[in-house]
Structure 1
Amino acid sequence: MARRTTLRKNRVLFLVHRKEILDQTITTFKKQNVDLNLTTFGMVQTLTRHIQDIPVPKLIIVDEGHRALAKSYQRILKQFPKAIVLLFTATPHRTGRMQLDQIADDIIVGQSIHELTDKGFLAPFRYFQPPNDFDPKLLKRGSTGDFTNESMEQAMSTKIFGHIVKQYKRIASGMQAVVYTYSIDSAIKIANEFNSEGISAVEVDGTTSKEKRDLAVRKFREQKIKILVNVNLFTEGVDLPNVDCVIMARPTASLALYLQFSMRCLNPRKGKTAIIIDHANNFKTFGYPDDDRDWKQAIKSGKQKSKSLLTDPGLAIVTCDYCFAVVKASEVKDGKCPICGKPIKVHKAKPVSDVDLVEATKDRQNLIHEIVHSNLLKEVANKNVSELHTIKELQAYGKLHGYKKGWCYYVAKRKGII
């Protein structure tokens, strides 16, 4: 679009918010034969102070367009009311009530993550999460809508740093990994823990000089460093092609940030399966990175709850000792199983140092959802095999207890049902 615009001798304005993205964009535009003499590239923070110097564009392209409601972006966009404005983003949802319908006429939804993975544009992944490594009640939101550093410090266990190294060695040993954490102090501790275990790691944050940051990224790309620990740097746009593992060592209230964290490792390579390690149980708030989301609804402003709109809510699960049903802890009322009505215990999580992360699977999610909403499953849960009289009842009972399909056939034949 930029090339076609400049071919017609019209001007293009390309807005970004980070220098690393700006450098990549200029390089890409050169390769794609965009006329750079008719293109203005700039960081929003700079251009907003020099609006009068920007040549009038016919087309404005905004990278990470979910940021475009900010005053600095609006100051630039309102300066050129006749320009066509295109907002590009992988995460068209903001924290808070005001959404992109305030500035966009419509949304064109691209291919889903599932489709891109099937076609080889993204790598498949495995997702690991702990039962419960922090107390979410301690989390407090700040002015940005995300959690404050102070509350994250309280909520995350002090043992989390050693635990991160232990789980990396168990799940993703040898992989190039990026760690996302919430403060410089925590990032330094994590990097030190990795280095003390003989795993090369470097910490970078907003206070790190450009020279040191560039050196760290270059060494990581050259695989001279295994672990890159960062604070709010490698989220949007920066090209790190050899990341095979992402470690989330901080919670977030932002769907956009969560997707940027978790998808950082999905650059494809033949035979690659990425690893996502979630120490903060972000999965319980946002579901899987590749869950289908209603993005057309997501851009609408109002009192909508992002959980109900965009996510498959997280699953704190318990197993009933009587009917063996696996149910959401939130469904347990008055200490009774929501399916069979017998007493059920919601066990407290073990201390973080004693807990290995478990792999989250869609089969488990789907079964829990089906149990809660299926009358048939609820009916058979409180019965024994002798009380089952139809194929459907046997199939439901087998599904509930995780039996193989052959079990249903064998029992049905024995009972004379088939």
Structure 2
Amino acid sequence: MQYKLRPYQIQASDAAVRFFCNKKSERNGILVLPTGAGKSLIVADIASRLKQSVLVLQPSKEILEQNYAKYRSYGMENCSIYSASFNKKEISEVTFATIGSIMAHIDDFDHFQAIIIDECHGVNPVEGQYATFIKKVKRKVLGLTATPYRLYNAQGITTAEKGFMPNGSFKTEDYFIDEFHPMPGVTLTNACILKFLTRTRPRIFHDVLYEVSIQSLLQQGFLARLRYFDLSMIDTRRVKRNSTGRDYDEQSLSEEFARCGLANQLSNIVQRLLRPKDGKPRKGILVFTQFIEESEQLAKEVEGVAVVTGATKKKEREKIITDFKEGRIKVLANVGVLTTGFDYPELDTVVMARPTMSLAMWYQIVGRAIRPFEGKDGWIVDLGDNLKRFGKVDDLKLQMNKPGEYFISGVVGGYQKQLTNTYFT
């Protein structure tokens, strides 16, 4: 069947086709499309329109399955799967693959003329399998993502007068007594910075070819409006950073969870969600925890809770997810395994029972509930101080300081705040 694409989907597909047909430019580009915008359909439409061999790379079995199925639903037979996760390694005119599976036979993929990378924020421009592959094949690459930024760590100093200053931005002799000892009032600091994909150095992606905003899709009814509840008891000011500075230290987090009684609070909240005051049952409660212990305690204390983790066997995980989607399981707790590739439009409740310093993770987790469904009243319950850090996903915007200098902003504490390409400590 041929789908009737929405106007923004047509515009995204048109931009991608123009990109691949432009032989004069060797710059790589990205399509920025919110979670729930129908990336699988856009990928399928692009691949079906290109008169050249196409390699579609994605980070997981679940996303590959969605993209492949959508392309096949066009009635196209010139496609195959190359992925160890499927026990299939076939190369066709249009091949859907996972990056890990193709690396052992990288020479077999030199002939592809168009390369598409779904969830392209996962591409490390410095090293890794994607970078190795892209450098070898020397083809233009199109990326698609809802979160066009990556989290980096930075080391430097903090002063009361100037705040954080990264190493290299100040004269050492102005702030240090000697090589190892800062002057009074100067603190050694680990900070983070979310860098927009087109502003990393080195970089793989150069241009934003097309972008549609969350606000636009909400206004048109293509995404579900969400209600946010900040019920956090965690004080992230008490929590140390890990050695990279890019996330919280697990031991420090565990101590803070114990101090504030997070596991008990989580059980109480889930019980309340199962019996809401309005009497309308939730259509699914998806819980994200930092550690397996919180998910397992929740399952012991609240009836009807199932748990999936990275250690859950494939068949068992698939059965649990099916039972959850079909209503036989009311609450599904997981430890970081359902942040992407989990497509369940009826889902109306997400509980974020952990803090994160990653805007991409916050976005992806909230995005599990943002797909529209008739009569849906979506709730996001935050126990991890994330609303105070990033604000509502609905308010995220792609903006430019000047042509080509992109950044993401949000509304935090009632004020517009730049969230990428700015340091936070």
TM-score above 0.5: yes
Q: What is the deviation of 1:274?
A: 0.2
Contact 1:99 1:298 (C-alpha < 8 Å) held by counterparts: no
Contact 2:343 2:368 (C-alpha < 8 Å) held by counterparts: no
Q: Secondary structure at the match of 1:78?
A: helix
Q: Give 1:63's match in structure 2, choosing from 100, 118, 139.
A: 118
Q: What percentage of aligned pairs have identical amino acids?
A: 29
Equivalent position amino acid for 1:73 in 2: Y
Q: Secondary structure at the match of 2:97?
A: strand
Equivalent position amino acid for 2:142 in 1: L
Q: What is the deviation of 1:142?
A: 4.8
Going from structure 1 to structure 2, the CA distance change for 1:300 and 1:159 (only over 3 Å counts) comes to farther
Could you tell me the TM-score, scaled by structure 1's length? 0.67
- The residue that corresponds to 2:134 in the other structure is 77
Q: What is the deviation of 1:186?
A: 2.2
Equivalent position amino acid for 1:163 in 2: Q
- The residue that corresponds to 1:201 in the other structure is 305
Going from structure 1 to structure 2, the CA distance change for 1:261 and 1:170 (only over 3 Å counts) comes to same
Going from structure 1 to structure 2, the CA distance change for 1:142 and 1:274 (only over 3 Å counts) comes to farther
Going from structure 1 to structure 2, the CA distance change for 1:289 and 1:172 (only over 3 Å counts) comes to farther
- The residue that corresponds to 2:74 in the other structure is 32
Cα distance in structure 2, aligned partners of 1:142 and 1:223: 42
Q: Secondary structure at the match of 1:203?
A: strand
- The residue that corresponds to 1:282 in the other structure is 386
Note the aligned Cα RMSD (angstroms): 2.8
Equivalent position amino acid for 1:185 in 2: E
Contact 1:177 1:246 (C-alpha < 8 Å) held by counterparts: yes
Equivalent position amino acid for 2:378 in 1: A
Q: What is the deviation of 1:113?
A: 1.5
Q: What is the deviation of 1:234?
A: 0.9
5 Å-filtered alignment, 1:358-373, equals 365=414
Find out whether 1:163 has 2:163 as its counterpart: no
Q: What is the deviation of 1:22?
A: 1.2
Find out whether 1:265 has 2:307 as its counterpart: no
Cα distance in structure 2, aligned partners of 1:7 and 1:135: 49
Equivalent position amino acid for 1:160 in 2: L
Contact 2:362 2:386 (C-alpha < 8 Å) held by counterparts: yes
Find out whether 1:177 has 2:277 as its counterpart: no
- The residue that corresponds to 2:107 in the other structure is 52
Q: Secondary structure at the match of 1:310?
A: strand
Going from structure 1 to structure 2, the CA distance change for 1:115 and 1:3 (only over 3 Å counts) comes to closer
Q: What is the deviation of 1:99?
A: 4.3
Query: Which deviates further from its counterpart, 39-48 or 97-106?
Result: 97-106
Contact 1:291 1:312 (C-alpha < 8 Å) held by counterparts: yes
Cα distance in structure 2, aligned partners of 1:300 and 1:192: 52
Q: Give 2:205's match in structure 1, choosing from 104, 117, 134.
A: 104
- The residue that corresponds to 1:124 in the other structure is 225
- The residue that corresponds to 1:361 in the other structure is none
Contact 1:152 1:250 (C-alpha < 8 Å) held by counterparts: no
The answer for unaligned runs of 5 or more in structure 1 is 316-364, 370-418
Contact 2:236 2:385 (C-alpha < 8 Å) held by counterparts: no
- The residue that corresponds to 2:65 in the other structure is 23
Equivalent position amino acid for 1:46 in 2: S
Contact 2:230 2:387 (C-alpha < 8 Å) held by counterparts: yes
Cα distance in structure 1, aligned partners of 2:54 and 2:116: 8
Q: Secondary structure at the match of 1:260?
A: helix
* Deviation string, structure 1 residues 151-173 (Cα, Å, up to 9, x no partner): 32222246222212322343563
Cα distance in structure 2, aligned partners of 1:7 and 1:277: 42
Q: Give 1:249's match in structure 2, choosing from 353, 365, 374.
A: 353
Larger Rg: 1
Q: Secondary structure at the match of 2:66?
A: helix
Q: What is the deviation of 1:111?
A: 2.3
* Deviation string, structure 1 residues 195-233 (Cα, Å, up to 9, x no partner): 2xxxx1111111110011101111011110011111111
Could you tell me the TM-score, scaled by structure 2's length? 0.66
Query: For this pair of structures, how many residues does the alignment match?
Result: 308
- The residue that corresponds to 1:356 in the other structure is none
* Deviation string, structure 1 residues 214-255 (Cα, Å, up to 9, x no partner): 011110111100111111111122212221100001100000
Cα distance in structure 1, aligned partners of 2:363 and 2:242: 19
Q: Secondary structure at the match of 1:94?
A: strand
Contact 2:47 2:94 (C-alpha < 8 Å) held by counterparts: no
Q: Secondary structure at the match of 2:211?
A: coil
Q: What is the deviation of 1:4?
A: 5.8
- The residue that corresponds to 2:216 in the other structure is 115
- The residue that corresponds to 1:12 in the other structure is 54
5 Å-filtered alignment, 1:313-392, equals 313=412, 315=413, 365=414
Contact 1:21 1:237 (C-alpha < 8 Å) held by counterparts: yes
Higher helix fraction: Structure 1 or Structure 2?
A: 1
Cα distance in structure 2, aligned partners of 1:297 and 1:104: 18
The answer for unaligned runs of 5 or more in structure 2 is 1-12, 14-43, 80-91, 153-192, 276-280, 418-425
- The residue that corresponds to 1:190 in the other structure is 298
Contact 2:218 2:224 (C-alpha < 8 Å) held by counterparts: yes
Cα distance in structure 1, aligned partners of 2:402 and 2:315: 39
Contact 2:232 2:382 (C-alpha < 8 Å) held by counterparts: no
Cα distance in structure 2, aligned partners of 1:169 and 1:62: 40
- The residue that corresponds to 2:83 in the other structure is none
Q: Secondary structure at the match of 2:345?
A: coil
- The residue that corresponds to 1:230 in the other structure is 334
Contact 1:219 1:225 (C-alpha < 8 Å) held by counterparts: yes
Going from structure 1 to structure 2, the CA distance change for 1:172 and 1:202 (only over 3 Å counts) comes to closer
